[in-house]
Every structure is written in structure tokens, then in C-alpha cells.
Amino acid sequence: MTNTMRAISYLGPGQLELREVPIPQPNDGELIVKVKAATTCGTDLKTYRRGHRLFKPPIPFGHEWAGMVHSVGEGVSKFKEGDAVVGVNSAPCNSCYYCRRGRPQLCENLESRFLYGTFADYVRIPAHIVAQNTHPLPSNLPFEEAAILEPLACAVLGATYADIHLGDTVAIIGAGAQGLMQMQIVKAMGAARVIMLGRQASRLERAKALGASAVLSTLEVNGVEAVRELTDGRGADVVIEAAGSAETWVLAVNMARPGATVVQFSGLADGTHVSFDARHLHYDEITMKGVFHHTPRTVEMALHLLASGQVKGSALVDGTIPLSQVEDGLLRMQRSEVIKLAVVPEL
């Protein structure tokens, strides 16, 4: 048996390399997982195109995953060799200032202990992630769909912050992976109507097929007026911004009815400033929330949503590719030909 494997290394913007490296050995509490599927993510594309604060090259690439336990470190009792598992890319320390105050997504020790390197034949799952954020794969869930657990857990946190009530009309800006996930989640939470706003006809069509009540092209209509028209002039009960620009952050606030909650889900580049109409924020009692990352609880919730079919993973993963085509896959994402792809090392 060979003791090397293939792994994609990120060497800087525009530079990926498929390398032959040793198969890792598990330390105490760790798992070595044979990767069955690792999905591509908007963050991977951003990193590939222009670098990313969290990914300092050279670094193993890829962070979404599902697979089979290949070997087990000392002290792991939850899993054994051959188990099908799925998990995410981080877990909180549970002892810092923010963890003790119930905000594990703000954990001071999160970023230093991220998981990297899922675009590979095998990946090491660190002990803190094994203990808190790794789960048995539900038997009805294919690896390729389960692998979207991490971004879905982020979407669940966003939707949880949105304060959805039964019968609400929710407007979501952005019909990419996050917008399409949020749409399915808020419907599961009881939203009666979801209005999707976006720029690309093909994505809006996909939103419609997945159950959007109305889809609006922001290239063709004034989003604020169109949402008001659909809500007796009021605006949406809840607005979720998942498009990622300063303009859409403002649009989100402007289409919110008095008393609404607005979730600013997308992160903008460091140094970006956004200005809002203070009269609307104050007199209309707008609640605006930032949201980041996920928590062990939202990871569990995301897994239940996938297993129950309330969120359709198949609607977001547009095919499988081998390790040798990761770069090509990212370029297909950039051209908006696909939302996500599952990298399957066995192909």
C-alpha cells in the first residue's frame, strides 16, 4: 500500500498545484478521513482570484468535506474506521470571552485552528472539530450533497438572526449559493412568501423552481419599488442580503418595512463604508444585524435540514469533478456556469 496521496496546494492568487504528499497519521483525538466529496465554495474562488486574509500561502486548499473514516487517533470513541462522516471547518474553544458569553462564532481561537486541505485524497480532522463538529452521515444523504454542510450552517445562523415569523414575507438579495440556501431555510421556518432579487436570469429561474414566490431582476426593476408593490406598499417583513456589495447592503435596508429585521449576511472588503438613511433606521425601527460563520448548534440544524430534504443539496451542487480539475471548476464558478461543484478524488 502506498503511503502518499494527492493534495491541492494554494501557492498564491492564480496558483494551484496538485502535489504528492504523505498520507497524514492521526494524533490523539484526530481522524484521518478519506475524502469522498469536497465542495467548491465562493471563498475558494475569492482566494484563488485575489488572495484571502485567512488563507496565507502556501497552504492546503479546500475546506468543505464529507468522507469515510480511514484511521482513528488515540481516545476517539465516537467514530471508527469505515464510518461515513461529515463535518465543518472549525470548532470553538469554549473557554474564551465570547464562547463563555454564548457567541462561539466569535471565538477568539477560531481562525488559528481552521481546517484546510479537503481537496485531497485524505484530510486530517483536528481533535476539536472531531469532538464538536463532525457527525455520522445520515444514510439517505449522498457525500456530494452532505459536503455543503459548512456553508449551510452559516446560512442557518443568518436565517436564525432574521427573526422569521409564520406568514412573513422575506426578501432575499442574491440568488447564489447562500441566497438559495437561505430561501429554503426561511421557508422551512414558516415564511409564507420569499421574494428573490438577483441579476442573473438563470439563477432567478433556479430560485423560482426551488419555490420562490416571486423573482425580480435588479437589472430590470427598481428593487425597492418592486418589493413595495408586492407588499401593499410596506416593504418586506424581513430582508436578507446575500449578494455582497455596498449597494445591496443599502438596498436591503431600503426595502425593509417599519419594524423589520435586516440581516447583512455578505462580508464586504475590509475598509468598505456604507451609509444609510438615518430617518428610516430610527423612526421605522429597523433592526440591522451582521452575521458571521456558524456554531455547533447551527451545524446540527443544517445537517437535519439536508437529511430531511427541507434543503435540497442537489439543487446547489452542479456536478462532480476530479482533483485534477479544481482550477477549471473554480473558473466555471467564476463564469457563473455552476453554483458549486463536488470534487471527488476517486474520479
Chain residues binding Zn ion by CB under 5 A are 41, 43, 92-93, 96, 99, 107, 151
CB 307 within 8 A of CB 177: no
* Residue closer to Zn ion (CB basis): 40 or 71: 40
Grid cell 462532480 — which residue?
Answer: 320
CB 96 within 8 A of CB 109: yes
Please, what is the minimum distance in Å from the beta carbon of residue 276 to Zn ion? 29
Please, what is the minimum distance in Å from the beta carbon of residue 102 to Zn ion? 11
* Residue closer to Zn ion (CB basis): 53 or 279: 53
What single DSSP character describes residue 64? -
* Residue closer to Zn ion (CB basis): 33 or 107: 107
Using DSSP, state whether 42 is helix, strand or coil.
helix
- List helix spans (H) across the chain: 42-50, 97-100, 127-133, 143-146, 149-161, 177-188, 201-209, 223-229, 246-254, 278-283, 296-308, 326-334
Please, what is the minimum distance in Å from the beta carbon of residue 66 to Zn ion? 13
Please, what is the minimum distance in Å from the beta carbon of residue 179 to Zn ion? 15
* Residue closer to Zn ion (CB basis): 43 or 287: 43
Phi-psi region of 340 (alpha: psi -120 to 50; beta: other; left: phi over 0): beta
Please, what is the minimum distance in Å from the beta carbon of residue 292 to Zn ion? 13
* Residue closer to Zn ion (CB basis): 34 or 128: 128
Grid cell 465543518 — which residue?
Answer: 88
Please, what is the minimum distance in Å from the beta carbon of residue 148 to Zn ion? 8
CA 146 – CA 127 distance, rounded (Å): 21
Residue 19, Cβ density class (10 Å: 0-12 exposed, 13-18 middle, ≥19 buried): middle
* Residue closer to Zn ion (CB basis): 66 or 230: 66
* Residue closer to Zn ion (CB basis): 101 or 279: 101
- Give exposure, 291-322, as e/b (b: 16+ Cβ within 10 Å): bebbbbebbebbbebbbeeebbbebbbbebbe
Please, what is the minimum distance in Å from the beta carbon of residue 263 to Zn ion? 18
